[in-house]
Amino acid sequence: MILDDYRGIADQGELRAIEHLAGALRGRRFIHVNSTATGGGVAELLQRMIPLMKSLGIDAKWKVMKGTKQFFEVTKRIHNSLQGREGPPTKKMWDIYESVNRRNAERLDLDADCVFIHDPQPALLVEKKKRGIWVWRCHIDISRPNRVTWYLLKDLVQQYDAAIFSVARFAQSLPLAQFMIPPSIDPLSEKNIDLTEEEVNAVFERFDIPMDKPVLLQVSRFDPFKDPLGVIDAFKLVRKYHPCRLVLAGGTATDDPEGARVLDEVREKAEGDPDIHILLLPPFSDREINALQRGATIVLQKSTREGFGLVVAEALWKKKPVIAGDVGGIPLQVIDGVTGYLVHSVEGTAFRVRQLLQNPHKARILGEAGREHIRRNFLITGHIRNYLALWRAMEDKDSDLIYV
Amino acid sequence: MAEPFRFYECVSIVRMTGRWAGDIVDFLEILRQISRQSIFHHMHQYFLKPHVRPPEYPNDFAVWAADALEEKILAERLANLNPFEFTNIEEIRTELVRIITDYLKEYPPPRPVIEGKEFFFNEGITLVIPTGLEASNLKEFRCALKEVDASSIYFHFYEARLRLGKEQDDFSRFFSDCLSAECPGLADKIRSLDPYMYTAEVLKSKIEALVAGECR
């Protein structure tokens, strides 16, 4: 995978900027650390981004912290609490969090010119900082955190040189530089690459989903913040007017123990309905997800909290109109009435689905605009450019106009 | 022999100040104290950002007044502020404060915005990238202009004027200083463009058309 592969997809100026910035940082070490090698947007992004950075001459490395089941239960609690949904972890939980992080700090070589620590799970690794620029990359919505949890985590975050959030409203009062960089999708990954109609049809057949009616699709982890139960309610309202199917497709990540409970609730609610298809996808189902998105008529992402919601970008890239919750990074992707619709309720979701099923021409226009919007703003090339620009800017901290 | 024109492109990254306002009074308070970089950023990011459909107004303050505060009159007054009439950011700040203060004297204060529609004050850090493209005459200029992207126009037009404090944009300065014999009227024509009415992409095509006209 090299930058040249993106010529004809990304803008030339964007590629020129990457080459120039990478030239200025050639041979230097750039380490990314997260908590899972598979499942979830961060792992997907790093799988693609690291080889590309290496191809640009940067000594880029991706390290995954090792955690126990108990540790991931704690970090799920921290995650939910930062999103304002649960109380703070107990003292015992913080002890587990600290000891697992410290064990990883001993195990991992984090000597680099620039270190990006992704999300709260490995945040404590900053204690190991000796040199280089350390950046905390937060992918989750912390606009309304539990105040105690944030207060305790903030102690760690303050030890970083900078923090990155996906959306402006996630910024916090912190004594360090905070940047807004949205995540991205890779148009050449298995999840987004063009597929033939035959392959799309074959995937629907394999999952036993007849393509005899319009298909509404939500792809997400089985997580209460993604509101899969609300999606089923909206689907039932739509079906009074239009025959259609609903596909809820999701996987579980190794750091997401809550997923199984939500999946049970979803299965219970959908039981006996032949038009609702629940797919529990194993890791490495990217091509299947790609096909499901391409075969869908309308894509939903009815989240009530969201970090960024990259699945929205994936669907828009495939020219699908997206109806999605007005939360987190979704409004950056879904421009209301231009690339899809933003909704705030089960009824709003049902209403917009009915509108688009009634008006396929409008659906097509939204989808076309969606692809262009993603191409210009949310591709991996722009993301790499922004990371390199930030690294370069942090080396010249006092300036806001930097000649590279 | 005069120096050739060197084309630069730029990348802008957004630094967040962590300061935000949910009503007009808080907004005004912060506006009076916030950094010059923040005011420049919110007056200009519209021009650099790629849009599938540009927002209704060309600066973030006007867009917020219209969409979040739902105060159309205030939005129109803020949108009509032309930064090119000012030579520095402090003058723009003073004018923004004046417009909002006058509005508050004239009309009842708007209600606070709903959650999620607050104004977040950000700043832009610009990284300037040399393209290696140079021009010593009109023909070379035309070819190079075709090659560069809209960020080049942003840098040579908007950044040059207000951030770098130059009296005019880099293009018209080059044409008047270096190519006035080859194309005597071009600098004035470029200067007469109203850059705040276009995105950088549209402005680029306008300049390309003017340069192409001179080449005929």
A21 touching chain B per CB within 8 A: yes
Question: Are B46 and B107 in the same domain?
Answer: yes
pLDDT in tens, B119-165: 999 999 999 999 999 999 999 999 999 999 999 999 998 888 776 66
Same domain? B43 vs B69: yes
Query: Which of B123, B154, B189 is a domain's end point?
Result: B123
Q: Is the pLDDT of residue A254 over 70?
A: no
Distance from CA of A207 to the nearest CA of B (A): 36
| Residue B2, domain member (yes or no) | no
Chain B residues in contact with A15 (beta carbon < 8 A): none
pLDDT at residue number A256: 63
> Residue A305 corresponds to which tokens in the numbers above?
């909290």
Based on the fold, state whether residues B84 and B181 are members of the same structural domain: no
For residue B191, tell me if it sits in a domain: yes
Mean pLDDT of chain B: 91
Nearest CB neighbour to B18, from listed A14, A172, A386: A172
Torsion angle, CA of B113/B116/B119/B121, rounded to 10 degrees? 160
Residues B118, B145: one domain?
Answer: no
Pairing of strands A29-34, A114-118: parallel
Residues B103 and B30 in one domain: yes
Range of the domain at B62: 11-123
Q: Say if residue B104 is in the same domain as residue B136.
A: no
Option in A13, A17, A338 nearest B53 (CB): A338
Q: Are residues B137 and B196 in the same domain?
A: yes
Residue B4 inside a domain? The answer is: no
Q: From B72, B96, B123, give the residue that closes a domain.
A: B123
- Shared domain for B87 and B152, answered yes or no, is no
Domain count, chain B: 2
Q: How confident is the model at residue A207 (pLDDT cuts 50, 70, 90)?
A: very high
Same domain membership, residue B25 and residue B88: yes
| pLDDT mean across residues, chain A | 94
Percent of chain B at pLDDT exceeding 70 = 98
- Is B190 a domain residue? yes
Interface contact A401-B17, CB threshold 8 A: no
pTM value is 0.91
Per-residue pLDDT of chain B (216 residues; tens, 9 = 90+): 578 999 999 999 999 999 999 999 999 999 999 999 999 999 998 888 878 888 889 999 999 999 999 999 999 999 999 888 887 899 999 999 999 999 999 999 899 998 888 999 999 999 999 999 999 999 999 999 999 999 999 999 888 877 666 778 899 999 999 888 888 889 999 988 888 888 888 999 999 999 998 876
Residue A370, pLDDT > 70, answer yes
Contact present, B90 and B165 (Cβ < 8 Å):
no
Q: Give B-chain residues touching A17 at CB under 8 angstroms.
A: 9, 11, 127, 129, 151
Please, which pLDDT band fits residue A255 given cuts at 50, 70 and 90?
A: low
B11 touches chain A (CB under 8 A): yes
Check whether residue B18 and residue B48 sit in a common domain: yes
Judge if B112 and B142 occupy the same domain: no
Give CA angle at B70 (B69, B72), nearest 5°: 120
Find which of A401, A402, A404 to mutate to test the B interface (most B CBs within 10 Å of its CB). A401
CB contact set of B27 (below 8 Å; sequence gap of 6+): B21, B64, B100, B119
What are the Cα distances from residue A77, in Å, to A68, A145, A165, B29? 14, 12, 20, 37
A-B contacts at Cβ under 8 angstroms: 105
Q: Do residues B56 and B156 both lie within one domain? A: no
What pLDDT shows up at residue B66?
Answer: 96
Identify the residue whose tokens are 């107990």: A90
- The percent of residues above 70 in pLDDT, for chain A, comes to 99
> Which pLDDT belongs to residue A54?
96
Q: How far apart are the CA of B189 and the nearest CA of chain A, in angstroms?
A: 26
Among B120, B125, B152, beta carbon nearest to A168: B120
Query: Which residue type does A381 have?
Result: T
Residue ending a domain, choose from B98, B123, B148: B123
Q: In this complex, is the C-beta atom of A176 within 8 Å of any C-beta atom belonging to chain B?
A: no
In chain A the domains, ranked by start, together with CATH numbers, are: 3-184+379-394 (3.40.50.2000), 197-377 (3.40.50.2000)
Min Cα distance A402 → chain B (Å) is: 5
